[in-house]
Amino acid sequence: MLRVLLDKFWNEDVWLPPNTTWADLAPGPDKVVVYTDYRHLLLPIPLAFVFITLRYVMDKYVFAPFGRTLGIKDIRPRKAPNNPKLEAAYQANHKLVQLCGLAKQLDMTERQIERWWRLRRSQAKPSTLVKFCENSWKCTFYICNFAFGLYILWDKEWLWDIDQCYIGYPHQGLTNDVWWYYMISSAFYWSLTLSQFWDVKRKDFWQMFVHHIATIALLCFSWVCNLHRIGTLVLLLHDCADIFVESVKATKYSGYQRVCDTLFLALVVVWITTRVGIYPFYIIWSTSIRAPQLLPMFAAYYIFNTLLCLLLILHVVWTWLILQIAYKAIIAGQMDGDIRSSSSELSDSGNSNHNTPNHVNNKSKKET
């Protein structure tokens, strides 16, 4: 039964262009070009744990010591007194909704319960140094991966002429450098998907989770269907803007406000240029308009294009948040928001370590 279901799912009429079979795209020594191997999609999963381990080592021996030299303190909030009943209520619902009932049940005043709840919530928040290390790790990866992608794609014809992503498809050869680019990028997004559950919790948790899953799905579908050329362009375009997203957060946590403001200005320009300009009007326009003119369409291509459009919707949402922060930065005189998320975490950490004006921090806590 499983074989029947798999055969139906991997129907050639769905995943491949007309008059093309899986045997045509199967890798082998007798083939003129090197095709992608679907079995290689399993390799990024163990490699993701290598990234998680590498991140732990970098956090402990590189980013944390560097953050301390910048003056970032690893201040842990005072722990709430041990109270099993209050802890059980907190685990059931992090919001304090039954204050009177808990006060009567535990023979405590409402003030005591509110104070315990506030301490317990603060206890769960990571320190500024932890958040600095997280953003430094992501920024380092995006810089390296963008540089690697630009290096390997510089001499590729489809970087300069996007029509080459479709001309000759699906019989387009895979080179070793593109293979590594795909495997490394896939492994990193797998690691982000796994580590997101114990990383700093932000209000865009589910948006980022959908983003990671959509990116992994795009990488898998484009790999199986031998659409790796357009896939490399999407990866390169995203890494470019993410460098500035993470560097803005890291410099904000470290207290270098002028550097943060400069990077934030660069982020606005790069983000709008790549995510709202080049991505929809060059990449998606090409996949939606030019591709049907150059090759026969098939069902999987529409799936691929739908995932690209899903990423565009997320880009629009985040662009709106970034523009909100930019507007408030102009009013406040400095950038005081957490990119793509709630700014409350960032401003809270800033209060404990840096001389940020109180009226600016109060404004940032109200941001979306």
Torsion of CA 61, 244, 131, 320, to 10 degrees: -170
Of these ranges, 124-138, 154-168, 325-339, the one predicted with the greatest mean pLDDT is: 154-168
pLDDT at 204: 66
CA 175: distance to chain centroid? 26
- Torsion over CA: 177, 308, 194, 266 (sign): positive
Q: What residues contact 115, with CB distance under 8 A and at least 6 apart? A: none
Confidence of residue 325 (pLDDT cuts 50, 70, 90): confident
Alpha-carbon distance of 166 to 173, in angstroms, equals 12
At CB < 8 A and 24+ separation, what contacts does 27-35 make? Answer: 32/171, 33/171, 33/172, 33/173, 33/174, 34/173, 34/174, 34/175, 35/173, 35/174, 35/226
Confidence of residue 340 (pLDDT cuts 50, 70, 90): low
CB 279 within 8 A of CB 315: yes
Largest CA distance in the chain: 80
Alpha-carbon distance of 193 to 208, in angstroms, equals 9
pLDDT at 355: 37
Give the mean pLDDT of the chain: 82
Alpha-carbon distance of 119 to 81, in angstroms, equals 9
Q: What residues contact 248, with CB distance under 8 A and at least 6 apart? A: 260, 263, 264, 267, 335, 339
- For the chain, what's the residue count? 368
Torsion of CA 9, 14, 15, 20, to 10 degrees: 120
Quick one: tokens of 314? 């997320």
pLDDT at 124: 63
CB 102 within 8 A of CB 109: no
pLDDT at 227: 92
* Domains detected in the chain: 22-71+126-364 (no CATH), 84-123 (1.10.10)
At CB < 8 A and 24+ separation, what contacts does 330-333 make? Answer: 331/363, 332/360, 332/363, 332/364, 333/360
Quick one: tokens of 77? 């909030």
pLDDT at 31: 84
Task: Tell me the pLDDT tens digit for each residue of 41-88.
Answer: 999 999 999 999 999 999 999 999 999 999 887 766 667 667 776 777
| CA-closest candidate to residue 202, choices 325, 345, 309 | 345
| CA-closest candidate to residue 301, choices 224, 249, 247, 357 | 224
CB 127 within 8 A of CB 352: no
Of these ranges, 30-44, 108-122, 335-349, the one predicted with the greatest mean pLDDT is: 30-44
pLDDT at 154 over 90: yes
Alpha-carbon distance of 219 to 221, in angstroms, equals 6
Q: pTM, whole model, 2 decimals? A: 0.80
Which whole-number Å values give the CA distances from 26 to 40, 107, 123, 216, 301, in the listed order? 13, 71, 54, 22, 19
Confidence of residue 342 (pLDDT cuts 50, 70, 90): very low
Cis peptide before 170 (omega within 30 of 0): yes
Q: What residues contact 358, with CB distance under 8 A and at least 6 apart? A: 351
Determine the average pLDDT of the residues in 143-152: 96
Residue bearing tokens 């690893």 = 74
Secondary element (H or E) of residue 85: helix 84-92
